[in-house]
Structure 1
Amino acid sequence: MSSPHAPAAPRLPYDAGLLVMRLAIGLTIAAHGSQKLFGWFDGGGLDGTAQFFESIGYPSGKAMAVVAGLSETFGGLGLALGLLTPLAGAAVVGTMINVLVQDWDHGFFGGIELPVLIGAGAAAIALAGPGQWAADRAIPVVREHRFAYGAGALVFGAVVAGIVLLFKS
């Protein structure tokens, strides 16, 4: 039985693991967003992405390209920095829900394994919080992560993703 005055368990492994996960997931999805917004990394830019979105049944391809690009770029950068982490995670999860619905027929090993992994990782970070090495620690309102913030943000992201899917033909 531990004493009420026992020191807390060291957070170093936990915080280091969260940092690695935030950077890997965040920078990966931010790079995908920059392909959509700016055409970086051999991406299609807004025009190419708009054409792609229209070809798969989304209305107003240009607007959808902007929404997807911003969600991925800023959601990814938010995760990487640990900035507004629950909202960043929700932005990434919402985008990945759309990707999963679009690519579902390809099967797990036909293309949905990456969005499953990115979406699950973003959700895990939103729920667990960013750890101590995060920009959120400098913002008084979000300094102390709460599970409810992450859960609420993820519900919001899923609802918005569902609304976007309602407009897809």
Structure 2
Amino acid sequence: MTDKPKEPTGDPDATATGRGVSSPYDSPTGQFPRVGGGPELRKDVPRTDEELGLDPDVPTVGEQAGQTPPYSYASIPPAAAAPGTPSSALRRRAAENRRGTLDFGLFLLRLTVGGTFIYHGLQKLTGWFHGPGLDGTRDMMTGGGWDHATLASILVTTGELLGGVLLVLGLATPLAAGAVLAVIINAWLWKQGMIPGFQYNAGTKSGVELDSVLTGGAAALLLTGPGRWSLDRSRGWATRPAWGTFVVLLLAVAVAILTYWFLHGGNPLTGIGPFD
């Protein structure tokens, strides 16, 4: 007894085309067959908010509660300072403000050093305070062995007077201190070279005692700054001078030595130690 062949189901064209019988659900993206000559049924999956019937402008629950979105990566926030503890910037500013009498001391030093240079500059320029005046200064430097006495007298008078005024005001202090430092080093070398040997006693004509004190004061003001009682108070070099001021110090010494070598010549240290 033979089995009766089963009649094909599904697509009536499957037998004619030689394809096997398959379900319309085999391919999720395929089309449903027409039923009763009706329209094709498609299996389209909604993918957008509009297709799902959602309003994209509606805020989420977290946004409605005013919460900030979470970090995109894990991080550990810095530990908060204890209540009442000042920040590092405030502590640093408070330490800078605790200067005590430092600014007043620098002001007195500027008045003393700058005022002394103004005094000597006015002596050479105007003849005040029993000074020699410009002509007398030139003659004095000519007799002291200066090869270019006119130029040397102009330089020393300008450096003393202008540098002294700027020091008292505390204006352009590195330039002012460097100028008077170069001038006083030249004066020190000149006096020291008058007589062989070390001449320090201020009671002698070639004593460099006063010149040494003024040299130290000008160098100190150059390295410390003029302080806050000055017109340079908003400048960094007024209260916190950096290594640039030390460079200015070296330049002032170099200018003084070169000026002495060019305008006067000779070795001012003759007779001192190894310079015999």
Task: Tell me the TM-score normalized by structure 1.
Answer: 0.89
User: Within 1, Cα distance between the matches of 2:139 and 2:123?
Assistant: 14
Task: Give the SS at the match of 2:147.
Answer: coil
Counterpart among 143, 148, 153 of residue 248 in structure 2: 153
CA contact (8 A) 1:86 1:149 kept: no
User: Within 2, Cα distance between the matches of 1:38 and 1:147?
Assistant: 38
> Which 4+ runs in 1 deviate beyond 4 A?
3-6
Residues 132-162 of structure 1: CA distance to partner in whole angstroms, max 9, x if unpaired?
0111125xxxx11123232122222111111
Counterpart among 102, 110, 114 of residue 14 in structure 1: 102
Tell me which residue corresponds to 1:123.
Answer: 219
Matches within 5 A, 1:137-152: 137=233, 143-145=235-237, 146-152=241-247
Residues 58-93 of structure 1: CA distance to partner in whole angstroms, max 9, x if unpaired?
122122111000000111111111111111111111
Task: Give the SS at the match of 2:252.
Answer: helix
Q: Which has the larger radius of gyration?
A: 2
Matches within 5 A, 1:29-44: 29-44=117-132
User: Within 1, Cα distance between the matches of 2:118 and 2:124?
Assistant: 10
Tell me which residue corresponds to 2:83.
Answer: none
Matches within 5 A, 1:16-165: 16-104=104-192, 105=195, 107-109=199-201, 110=204, 111-137=207-233, 143-145=235-237, 146-165=241-260
Aligned Cα RMSD in Å?
A: 1.7
User: Within 1, Cα distance between the matches of 2:151 and 2:190?
Assistant: 18
User: Within 2, Cα distance between the matches of 1:75 and 1:38?
Assistant: 17
CA contact (8 A) 1:35 1:43 kept: yes
CA contact (8 A) 1:71 1:95 kept: yes
User: Within 2, Cα distance between the matches of 1:22 and 1:51?
Assistant: 31
Deviation at 1:108, TM superposition (A): 1.3
User: Within 1, Cα distance between the matches of 2:147 and 2:119?
Assistant: 24
Higher helix share: 1
Q: Which amino acid is 2:244 matched to?
A: Y
Greater CA drift, 72-81 or 144-153: 144-153
Q: Which amino acid is 1:99 matched to?
A: A
Q: Which amino acid is 1:98 matched to?
A: N
Structure 1: state its 5+ residue gaps.
Answer: none
Structure 2: state its 5+ residue gaps.
Answer: 1-85, 266-276
Residues 112-140 of structure 1: CA distance to partner in whole angstroms, max 9, x if unpaired?
110100110010001100000111125xx
Deviation at 1:12, TM superposition (A): 3.7
Q: Which amino acid is 1:123 matched to?
A: A
Higher relative contact order structure (alpha carbons within 8 Å, sequence separation ≥ 6): 1
Task: Give the SS at the match of 1:135.
Answer: coil
